[in-house]
Amino acid sequence: MMKKWLLVGFLGMFLAACAGDNTIPDRPPEELYQEGMRLFDKTDYDEAARYFDEIERQHPYSEWAARSQIMAAYAFYRKNQYDDAILALDRFIQLHPGNKNTPYAYYLKGLCYYEQMSDIAREQQMAVDAKDTFQELIARFPNSVYVADATAKLGLIEDNLAGKEMAVGRYYLKTHEYLAAMNRFQNVIKYYASTNQADEAYYRLAACYVSLGMMKQVRELAQTQENLYKGSKWAKRTLSLLQKYGKAK
């Protein structure tokens, strides 16, 4: 009786192992790729990525290998598995720096970071990484079809980063930590001058100068701001500061 139960137990384990064996058999690369695309079209991204990865394992030197690496990364991206996508894209860029799909690899990597950007109240490392990636794409492949969208996204990224600097600067100004606040506002003026945050940064920096009695700097700042943003709301506020405190100081 005991032997019978042991035999049944081993048979059950064998069948379970067979059922759980999802190894992809060796097949021509184009067949594996077609199967991967079929699964991708069905939005079965995990299984599609597995087939694309299998092409590189079975046929590492075929023309299909590089193509499948990009598709595996794209499958990870569509599943919002950004870390896996970035790893796959970094590997592709390292192995195929001159491939026709390399500009797209940079662009997709930038999107992986871009879509993880948080609001200005939170840490901005993803925005920094997205900016660096898109800038590298533009520098390396200035004629790529992806440059226009990367450039547009860079503008939004810089607005985000400038907004973070302004939020921190306003906090320091409110708590009377004027030197720390000045650093933040100066960063916006220096690094994000093209954003809509820069005009306000001049005014906030002027407010720091007023608090420290640095009226000469306020006058210089007001003149620069008036030249750049003549008649703007923030330029008028800076002039009001100068008029209110200039003589007294």
How many CB atoms are located within 10 Å of the residue 127 CB?
A: 23
In this prediction, residue 63 carries a pLDDT of 84
Distance CA 86, CA 127 (A): 15
User: What's phi and psi for 212, nearest 5 deg?
Assistant: -95, 5
Grade residue 246 by pLDDT with cuts at 50, 70 and 90.
Answer: confident
CB 147 within 8 A of CB 191: no
Structure tokens at 116: 């993880």
Residues of the chain with pLDDT > 90, as a percent, come to 73
How many CB atoms are located within 10 Å of the residue 247 CB?
A: 8
Structure tokens at 144: 């790529």
Between helix 102-114 and helix 63-78 the angle, nearest 10°, is 10
Closest by CA to 23, choosing from 2, 60, 53, is: 53
User: What's phi and psi for 120, nearest 5 deg?
Assistant: -70, -10
Distance CA 85, CA 107 (A): 12
pLDDT tens digits along 223-235:
999 999 999 999 9
Q: What is the mean pLDDT of the chain?
A: 89
pLDDT tens digits along 103-154:
999 999 999 999 999 766 667 899 999 999 999 999 999 999 999 999 999 9
pLDDT tens digits along 67-106:
999 999 999 999 999 999 999 999 999 999 999 999 999 9
In this prediction, residue 59 carries a pLDDT of 86
Mean pLDDT of 21-29: 76
Classify residue 161 as exposed, middle or buried by CB count within 10 Å of its CB (0-12, 13-18, 19+).
buried
Distance CA 45, CA 13 (A): 30
pLDDT tens digits along 177-198:
999 999 999 999 999 999 999 9
In this prediction, residue 228 carries a pLDDT of 96
